[in-house]
Structure 1
Amino acid sequence: MRFDAGPLRADWLLFWAVCLSFFIGLSATPLIDLDEGAFTAATQEMFARGDFLATYLNGVPRYDKPILIYWLQAASAALFGFSEFALRLPSALMGLAWTLFAFGFARRLFDARTARHCALVTATAMGPALIARLAIADALLDACLAAAVFAQYLWLREGKTRDLYLAWAAMGFGFLAKGPVALLLPLGTLFLHCLTTRRLGDFIVFVTRGRALLLWAAIALPWYLAVTWTNGPGFVENFFLRHNVGRFSGAMGSYHAYGLFYYFPVALLVTLPYTGLLLAVIARWRRLWQDDFARYAIINFTLVFALFSLSANKLPHYLLYGSAALFVLLGRELRSTRSPWLLLPALVMFVSALFVPDLLEALHPRANPYYQTMLVDLDAHFDLAYRLPLLAATLLVAVMMIDRRAAVPLKLAACGLIAVLCLALVFLPALGGVLQQPIKQAGLIARDIDAPLVMADINTPSFGVYAGRVVERRAPRAGDVVLTRSDRLDQLPPHTMLYRSKSVALARILP
């Protein structure tokens, strides 16, 4: 009994520490452009326009995403004011929700201690840990997808009607968060699982349950209908055709057109520091395929991996859409692991993070002119305050690899928590300071100036969030205060300089 009590208490302490870690450091990093800036500026414009039905960015309609994340950010900002903390809080809460969904699912499927391991892996793998700290729609979508794939598997396993309704409700909220992907991926996973287990009849029952479909429609469709009725078909046409079909096919331009094998290294990175567990699962996939839940997790992940590998536009966080069941599977595998070599990816991760500034310095001459100027003060941000915590983490992991007293699962989960804290309090603040601090400072200066605000030859929407105003993107006119690139100042009309730092300049156009 004494032997088990310590690890059990340590598991619980680590679990609650990880839950609290979602809210640490949310204000430590400036909003990162483009994505965070675009989402939060659009939320701010809802208040400026007094319109909480449709989204606008820089004064023009924004068709990129549905409404739910903007409503959540608006509610948080109404409670706490417009700050990095408030705007990122919905994502942090969704990261915590995803973790608790994983815990509850694994507890029903396995036992309480395995459930804690599954929750720890979910919360401290680098993919979820990062996405839950960004003020964008993806943490919300990930939480909805997790709830959907967990609930539909439990329905398949236990046949409880409430799980079927929960799955459809989660897909409804996901549809309101990011559109068709929230419906297609869970249903595609369920179909393939039922196909491979010869249970297609269960799939047909799942997709033809009338009340569940009505529940989905009641959650997902009213806003789409309302925005179409009020503003015309622009959002529906642009969102579904351009931002869904167009992104996949490349018809709207392949802005993130990476190769077919792009997601192989991404999978290794988003699962850090549990990459060793992922490789072990891949090596044993044939045996795991005989296990019903493992098969379901493999299908879910492989479907997303294959689908987005074929997409013309690729981003790393797309792989998280199929990772909820995979992280539970890794948590189950973590419970029985014994090899200290599974800590090696954590060691490599911390050592690599130590040398990020050196890598950026090496890339400096090859960057485009904008980023060349932004990177001139690397040493001011990647200083001893950056390197010492990472060096300490590296040494700690090395000691844990040698020391055999604590159990490997506990040590690996502790590495995950340390990595999360380093991400939130060390890495992101340093990177954000290099790339975003001048834009934040320009916005804070513009906040106190009574003049129209304009962005010219630059697209950094977080400027408007910090300025607290709607910022137009157009050619500047007399009397405007304009944010532009330092190397484009000679293209402005006669002006006076208000602020200049690295690649960013703020100027007032003379009357």
Structure 2
Amino acid sequence: MRELHKNKTLVWTLFFAFAAILLGVLRMRTLVPPDEGRYAEMAREMFASGDWITTRLNGIKYFEKPPLQTWMNALTFEVFGLGDWQARLWTGLCGLMGVVLTGHAGKRVFGERIGFYAALVLASSLYWVICSQVNSVDMSLSSMMTIALCALLIAQRDDATPSEQRNWMLVCWAGMALSVLAKGLIGLVLPGGVLVLYTLFARDWKIWTRLHLVKGLLLFFLIAAPWFVLVGLKNPEQPHFFFIHEHFDRFLKKEHHREAAWWVFFALLAIGSVPWIGVLVQSLVLGAKPEQGALRFKPRLLLLVWVAFIILFFTKSNSKLPGYIVPVFPAAALLIAIYLDGGTRRSRMLTAGLTALLGAGLLGFVPFMLRLAHRPGEDALYAAYQPWVLAAGLVLLIGGLLSMLYARQMQRDLTVLILAIAGFAGTELLLTGFEPIGQVRAGTRLLPALEAAGATNPATHVYSVGIYEQSLTFYLGRTVTLVDYLDEFSFGLEQQPELAIPTIPAFVERWRLDAAAGVKSVAITRPDIAADLKRQGVPLRVVADDGRRTVIANF
């Protein structure tokens, strides 16, 4: 019982169960805006148009991100058809791959038990599980960076043969190239910055002779460069917008209005590490301690630098979004696994106790959940969510208490396993139960009325007035004409202003012309705009209203 990591049947059973659940629940939730709807719609348009070079959103050029996420989603649509789980499949596979790579790197570099622990820790960390089930570029980037990190660790270990070092370094370079295709220069800047700082702290100057720079750079550019060349040739405006505006301006300026407190990423690291928060600090401290027996390469120090540099880098940025620090969790999982293997019984009991306390906190929160409702009818949504939060709380409470028992009995493998199962199961319950709230946020309850009004008919004009509904557009399966709305479309509409209507008065004129010509028109707008149009005497009929959006028709 104390050597569970050596039980191959158990290990493979855990892997297949984890993969089945992680991928199986992808179909159980509506695509929640903005990110999930945005990237699903971009892929749908790529799939429908056959243009795999110029990325578009709502038919408008959209160059904020490179195409890897869109490519993989479009490929999934090509193979499996359109749908929720298809839009999330690439993300789920990325999360699964990250767990496998982290476990494999832990086993090769630190030992079999640590590899087992590292996979369990990452597979149950709150933030990694959530991001594995959300259609967003953050997990795509993180998994590609995990390839680079794990390959570097395996390649640089002291007992690596020359062929292993070469081959794994080429995998590392490929991982960085794919990271660039996932989210841009950050895929090269972050690993590069980590390597520079590691060299300074470890005084391992010769590591640069072991990177296979010539072959690696050649492979890097063979993978990363072609799309940037092709998209720049087809769209000369893309390089400046992407490299200058989306990188340097986003990092240095506040025009994106994504500022946050300096400590936000430290808090997210702690919250995202649940149920392992009780050993997080100790694990990071361990990374800074001298490594016994290391002749050349210091893997713990590299992992610490990876976590610290990425967090500090984005802390300095004027653009702060929660997904930015997802790439730190594989490195953090390895450090936590190292500490769990050699740490004290008290620390493992503390982690288990905090997990039980968190479960008790969720149970205590359940009766107050209805206070989260801020719109009419939302109390019913939170009431439907209460049983799921209750179940998650019970799982964490029971799992934490069982883990405390096993920790007290000095059964490390069982302690870690039970905590991991509790953390993963609790997170999945919280995600799955969110579906009714997700439906409202996505606006999918308006779909029957929109379909009845002919919005899915290509002959019907569909307008989006003062808003843009990311997920609803994907579910309609067509683009809409934007009215009085710019936001993320500003750059694209500068290139193609004819694709939108700039003002509401201009829209009203078009609306009246449609009606006079007998053309069916439908508009999705805010309730206040619909009420204002009605006061102006604009001919319209309210087709549907969910309190957040109003659908009107001209017939």
Q: TM-score, normalised by structure 1?
A: 0.89
- The partner residue of 1:173 within 148, 164, 178 is 178
Cα deviation, residue 472, structure 1: 2.8
Cα deviation, residue 78, structure 1: 1.5
Match in the other structure for 2:475: 466
Tell me, yes or no, if structure 1 residue 203 matches structure 2 residue 248: no
Which deviates the most, 391-400 or 265-274?
A: 391-400
Contact 1:485–1:503 (CA under 8 A) maintained in structure 2: yes
Tell me, yes or no, if structure 1 residue 503 matches structure 2 residue 548: yes
Tell me, yes or no, if structure 1 residue 322 matches structure 2 residue 328: yes
Identify if the C-alpha distance between structure 1 residues 168 and 5 changes in structure 2 by more than 3 Å, giving closer, same or farther. Answer: closer
Aligned counterparts of 1:251 and 1:405: Cα–Cα separation in 2: 53
- Quick one: which amino acid aligns to residue 397 of structure 2? T
Contact 1:12–1:116 (CA under 8 A) maintained in structure 2: no
Contact 2:395–2:422 (CA under 8 A) maintained in structure 1: no
Aligned counterparts of 1:398 and 1:154: Cα–Cα separation in 2: 36
Cα deviation, residue 417, structure 1: 2.9
3-state DSSP class of the match of 2:233? helix
Cα deviation, residue 212, structure 1: 1.5
- The partner residue of 1:395 within 388, 398, 403 is 398
Identify if the C-alpha distance between structure 1 residues 109 and 5 changes in structure 2 by more than 3 Å, giving closer, same or farther. Answer: closer
- Quick one: which amino acid aligns to residue 141 of structure 2? L
Structure whose CA Rg is larger: 2
Aligned counterparts of 1:24 and 1:390: Cα–Cα separation in 2: 22
3-state DSSP class of the match of 2:113? helix
Match in the other structure for 2:307: 301
Aligned counterparts of 2:280 and 2:170: Cα–Cα separation in 1: 31
**Which digits, 9 at most, give the CA deviation of each residue in 1:239-267, with x for residues without a partner?**
2222221221125332x211111122111
Cα deviation, residue 17, structure 1: 2.5
Match in the other structure for 2:216: 212
Tell me, yes or no, if structure 1 residue 55 matches structure 2 residue 52: no
- The partner residue of 1:421 within 415, 419, 425 is 425
**Unmatched runs of 5 consecutive residues or more in structure 2:** 484-503, 515-519
**Which digits, 9 at most, give the CA deviation of each residue in 1:268-303, with x for residues without a partner?**
111111111212224545435777221111111110
Matches within 5 A, 1:92-241: 92-157=92-157, 158=160, 160-203=165-208, 206=211, 209-232=213-236, 234-241=237-244
Cα deviation, residue 36, structure 1: 0.9
3-state DSSP class of the match of 1:244? helix
Tell me, yes or no, if structure 1 residue 77 matches structure 2 residue 83: no
- The partner residue of 1:334 within 321, 337, 340 is 340
Match in the other structure for 2:278: 276
Contact 2:403–2:414 (CA under 8 A) maintained in structure 1: no
3-state DSSP class of the match of 2:469? coil
**Which digits, 9 at most, give the CA deviation of each residue in 1:422-449, with x for residues without a partner?**
333x322443422433612224543562
Identify if the C-alpha distance between structure 1 residues 460 and 24 changes in structure 2 by more than 3 Å, giving closer, same or farther. Answer: same
Contact 2:76–2:87 (CA under 8 A) maintained in structure 1: yes
Contact 1:35–1:136 (CA under 8 A) maintained in structure 2: yes
Tell me, yes or no, if structure 1 residue 481 matches structure 2 residue 484: no
Cα deviation, residue 103, structure 1: 1.8
Which deviates the most, 354-363 or 315-324?
A: 354-363
3-state DSSP class of the match of 1:239? helix
- Tell me how many residue pairs correspond in the alignment: 499
Instruction: Kindly indicate whether structure 1 or structure 2 has the higher relative contact order, using CA contacts under 8 Å at least 6 residues apart.
Output: 1
- Quick one: which amino acid aligns to residue 141 of structure 1? L
Match in the other structure for 1:261: 263
Contact 2:47–2:75 (CA under 8 A) maintained in structure 1: no
Cα deviation, residue 321, structure 1: 2.2
3-state DSSP class of the match of 1:507? strand
Which deviates the most, 479-488 or 402-411?
A: 402-411
Cα deviation, residue 95, structure 1: 0.7
3-state DSSP class of the match of 1:494? coil
Aligned counterparts of 1:153 and 1:389: Cα–Cα separation in 2: 35
Cα deviation, residue 409, structure 1: 4.2
Tell me, yes or no, if structure 1 residue 446 matches structure 2 residue 450: yes
CA RMSD of aligned residues (A): 2.6
Cα deviation, residue 394, structure 1: 2.3
**Which digits, 9 at most, give the CA deviation of each residue in 1:140-174, with x for residues without a partner?**
11111111122223333335111221111111111
Contact 2:178–2:224 (CA under 8 A) maintained in structure 1: yes
Contact 2:259–2:319 (CA under 8 A) maintained in structure 1: yes
Aligned counterparts of 2:523 and 2:299: Cα–Cα separation in 1: 56
- Quick one: which amino acid aligns to residue 479 of structure 2? V
Contact 1:357–1:378 (CA under 8 A) maintained in structure 2: no
Tell me, yes or no, if structure 1 residue 375 matches structure 2 residue 378: yes
3-state DSSP class of the match of 2:524? strand
Identify if the C-alpha distance between structure 1 residues 194 and 37 changes in structure 2 by more than 3 Å, giving closer, same or farther. Answer: same
Identify if the C-alpha distance between structure 1 residues 213 and 244 changes in structure 2 by more than 3 Å, giving closer, same or farther. Answer: same
Contact 1:190–1:203 (CA under 8 A) maintained in structure 2: no
3-state DSSP class of the match of 2:23? coil
**Unmatched runs of 5 consecutive residues or more in structure 1:** 366-371
Match in the other structure for 1:346: 355
Aligned counterparts of 1:61 and 1:296: Cα–Cα separation in 2: 39
Aligned counterparts of 1:346 and 1:143: Cα–Cα separation in 2: 27
Identify if the C-alpha distance between structure 1 residues 33 and 50 changes in structure 2 by more than 3 Å, giving closer, same or farther. Answer: same
Cα deviation, residue 237, structure 1: 1.7
**Which digits, 9 at most, give the CA deviation of each residue in 1:184-209, with x for residues without a partner?**
11111111112222222432663x72
